[in-house]
A and B are shown apart, each in its own frame.
Chain A
């Protein structure tokens, strides 16, 4: 092991420590379950069954993972620049609204153009919203965690106001929605799967972002800014542009998630769009330690845990918040495990 390249060691460290933290989270959760009178093994088995045991569970897991991949990017990309943005929910709903509006305005256009327009409009609006939080931080010193969350709440209020007011489809009586985009314009499912294209977009976005962040000069500059903004500025890097660029990309990802929800699931924008995907994305991003490639398997894991919530409810009569507890414990332990990096000798480069 000592002879292996330092890069391999780092990669191994980056896999083993989080995996260990997740295992520890399972154990802690098991103890908690035992304390309330449930058999931890039965709970684990049900989680496995609900998430990964059959083709059906896998479809369920992947369907849930799809929006999480994109909303996690909304946290992970600004994090590369040192910003902690948690307002992805706001970008998602506004992006979805934009897609629904464009979809309706362009009624009659060829479906391919329509879909592109919807997806792009969602990304643009989502990007704008998160850039707002980034700009407030960059030029006004406002803490971006607080401002992005506040902007998230404000976005939801604006969304509700528009959907139930000026943009409401008069035919959508008992469930106020914007005008439907029509079946022809809806995004389909991935070939062979029962999961919509959101997963495909997420996969492409993650890979692209990973390449951008870890294998290009721009990505390197971004990470330097994230490490030490002052030093970056002194070295002549254009900090403002990089920070806002990262925010724009993250916001575009969340906005894309929103437009996919509209274009692939609902067909119009309504209150069902506000489903907490933004917040679950935060969990995914942190467990993946803000690494775009790691977001993919972590989203599947978190999606799987959420998917198994139904089984836990139906078979063991446990509340739906059970999976929230597991995710919360995993989150905290992953954060605590940050202190373990560099402590284990097996991962350190061989001493000469």
Chain B
């Protein structure tokens, strides 16, 4: 293989963006739906880990990775329903429930996943988009996994659906003004619970990507805050599904900066470079938030904006 030298860094970052962005994409799309309906689900970290574990477990037990993806979604759906139900109770703070779900989901995943740390489960196939390139590195960087393709289609679909379908309108109305929605006869609590459930389903699928594609193995150190970063991502993307896709690519690339730099010889401060995604997230949040006016596009009912 030809020595890429410094070109290795951007190619590595691009590869990382393609590889690592998928869980961010799915989780943020799911959270987008949830937040558009006026609820914030911080428990996505727990749902992500639970999805990763159940996806791996079912793929191992059934031999079919796609069944694993479905199971991961189902697990996410169940946890999303739990979040929705508890939040529907009066006087319960959705941020607190999210934190609780984060701890509960992670604990449950570690508990049930103990038996699946060792075995090797079948993983998802990849689609080679880089066949045109003679360089194996570019080809490897452009090895796209099918979930990313599904995610992009989903992002486009959601963007269209929020604008043009009745359900999109209902969700947005409930997120902007629950009084108006109630006046029109829509069950606010029911819609919010459904949005959280769907959000959980997508987050679970995003988690299955980690265990069924990249890194492609279940272990307890799989996620390190990706779920929470995805929530920040949604705010950064101004609740627009398409922007979620771009932001996910950005975050994925930031995660790959550390190792890419090391492989061209920059070894100083690898801890700091490895913290790049967190720094990027924080920086973006600082730059885009403002205490005075609510952010353009923010659902009015969202508790973090009030």
- Interface residues of chain A, those whose CB is within 8 Å of chain B, are 84, 86, 136, 138-143, 145-147, 149-151, 153-154, 157-158, 160-161, 164-165, 279, 282-283, 286, 319, 321-322, 324-325, 327-329, 331-332, 335-336, 338-339, 341
Q: What is the distance, in angstroms, from B276's C-beta to the closest C-beta of chain A?
A: 9
Residue-by-residue, is B260-272 near A (CB-CB < 8 Å gives 1, otherwise 0)?
Answer: 0000000001011
Contact A157 B99 (CB under 8 A): no
Q: Which residue of B lies closest to A334 (CB)?
A: B100
Could you tell me if A328 and B272 are in contact, using CB atoms closer than 8 angstroms? no
On whether the beta carbons of A154 and B99 are closer than 8 Å, the reply is: no
A residues within 8 A CB of B90? 339
For this complex, 16 residue pairs linking A to B, each with C-beta atoms less than 8 Å apart, are: A84-B96, A138-B291, A145-B95, A146-B42, A146-B228, A146-B231, A149-B228, A151-B282, A153-B275, A154-B275, A158-B272, A283-B103, A319-B110, A324-B103, A328-B106, A335-B97
B114 at the interface (CB under 8 A from A): yes
Which of B91, B99, B229, B282 is in CB contact (< 8 Å) with A338?
A: B91
Q: Are A140 and B100 in contact (CB under 8 A)?
A: no
- Answer whether residue B225 sits at the interface, using C-beta atoms and an 8 A cutoff: yes
Residues of chain A contacted by B111 (CB below 8 angstroms): 319, 321-322, 324-325
Structural contact, B96 and A329, CB atoms closer than 8 A: no
Beyond known contacts A145-B95, A341-B91: 11 more, CB 8 A cutoff? A141-B291, A143-B289, A146-B281, A150-B229, A150-B282, A153-B225, A153-B275, A319-B110, A324-B107, A331-B104, A332-B82
Q: Say if the beta carbon of B2 comes within 8 Å of chain A.
A: no
Task: Say which residue of B108, B114, B290 sits within 8 Å of A140 (CB atoms).
Answer: B290
Q: Is the CB of A339 within 8 A of B286?
A: no
| Chain A residue contacts of B97, Cβ below 8 A | 332, 335
When distances are taken between beta carbons in the complex, the residues of chain B under 8 Å from A319 are: 110-111, 114
**B:28-46 near A, CB below 8 Å:** 42
Where chain A touches its partner, the secondary structure class is helix
Pair A154/B282 contact, Cβ less than 8 Å: yes
Give the CA-CA distance A339 to B110 in the complex, in Å: 30
Contact B101 A332 (CB under 8 A): yes
Chain A residue nearest to B224 in the complex (CB): A153
- Contact of B92 with A339 in the complex, beta carbons under 8 Å: yes
Q: How far is the CB of B57 from chain A (nearest CB, A)?
A: 14
Residues of A within 8 A of B95 (CB): 84, 145
- Enumerate chain A residues within 8 angstroms of B281, measured Cβ to Cβ: 146, 150
Question: Which 8 A-B pairs have CB atoms at the shortest separation, nearest pair first?
Answer: A324-B107, A328-B104, A157-B275, A321-B110, A141-B291, A339-B89, A321-B111, A161-B271
Q: Does B149 contact A (CB under 8 A)?
A: no
Q: How far apart are B144's CB and chain A's nearest CB, in angstroms? A: 28
Give the chain A neighbours of B110 by CB distance below 8 A: 319, 321, 324
Whether the Cβ atoms of A142 and B100 lie closer than 8 Å is: no
What separation, in Å, do the CA atoms of A228 and B144 have in the docked complex? Answer: 49
Within 8 A of A (CB), among B82-134: 82, 86, 89-93, 95-97, 99-101, 103-108, 110-111, 114
- Known contacts A161-B271, A335-B96, A335-B97: does B103 contact A147 (CB below 8 Å)? no
Per the bound structure, the CA–CA distance linking A164 and B111 in Å amounts to 33
Q: Whose C-beta in chain B lies nearest to the C-beta of A143?
A: B304
A113 CA to B269 CA, complexed, in Å: 34
Residues of B within 8 A of A338 (CB): 89, 91-93
Question: For the complex, would chain B's binding face be called helix, strand, loop or mixed by DSSP majority?
Answer: helix
Q: What CA separation (Å) do A138 and B114 show in the bound complex?
A: 42
A146 partner residues in chain B, CB cutoff 8 A = 42, 228, 231-232, 281, 285
Is A157 within 8 A of B272, CB to CB? yes
Residues in B whose Cβ lies below 8 Å from that of A164 = 271
Q: Which of B101, B282, B290 contacts A147 (CB 8 A)?
A: B282
Closest A residue by C-beta to B94: A335
- Residue in B closest to A75 when the chains form the complex, CB atoms: B99
| Shortest Cβ distance from A339 into B: residue | B89
For the complex formed, measure the closest distance between the CB of B172 and the CB atoms of chain A, giving whole angstroms: 21
Please state if B82 and A161 are interface contacts (CB–CB under 8 Å): no
Q: Check B274 for interface membership: any CB of A closer than 8 A.
A: yes
Could you tell me if A328 and B92 are in contact, using CB atoms closer than 8 angstroms?
Answer: no
CB distance from B100 to the nearest CB of A (A): 4
A216 to B145, CA, bound (A): 59
Of B101, B228, B286, B304, the residue contacting A136 (CB under 8 A) is B286
Using Cβ atoms and an 8 Å threshold, which residues of chain A touch B99? 84, 86, 145, 282, 286
Question: For A153, what are the chain B residues with a Cβ–Cβ distance below 8 Å?
Answer: 224-225, 275, 278
Give CA–CA (A336, B111) in the complex, Å. Answer: 23
Give A329 to B101 CA distance when docked, in angstroms: 9
Is B224 in contact with A140, judged by CB distance below 8 angstroms? no
A329→B86 CA distance, assembly (Å): 12
User: Roughly how many angstroms separate A143 CA and B235 CA in the complex, as a whole number?
Assistant: 10
Q: Within 8 Å CB of B235, what residues of A? A: 143
Nearest-CB residue, chain B, relative to A151: B282
Task: Tell whether B161 is near chain A: CB-to-CB under 8 Å.
Answer: no
* Chain B residues numbered 267-306 whose CB sits less than 8 Å from any CB in chain A: 269, 271-272, 274-275, 278-279, 281-282, 285-286, 289-292, 304
What B residues does A282 contact at CB under 8 A?
99, 103
The residue in chain B whose Cβ has the minimal distance to the Cβ of A230 is: B306
Q: In the complex, A165 Cα to B286 Cα: how many Å?
A: 29
- Could you tell me the distance between the alpha carbons of A143 and B42 in the complex, rounded to whole angstroms? 12
Known interface pairs A325-B108, A335-B86; A140-B289 also in contact (CB < 8 Å):
yes
Instruction: Name which of A165, A319, A328, A341 has the most chain B CB atoms within 10 A of its CB.
Output: A328
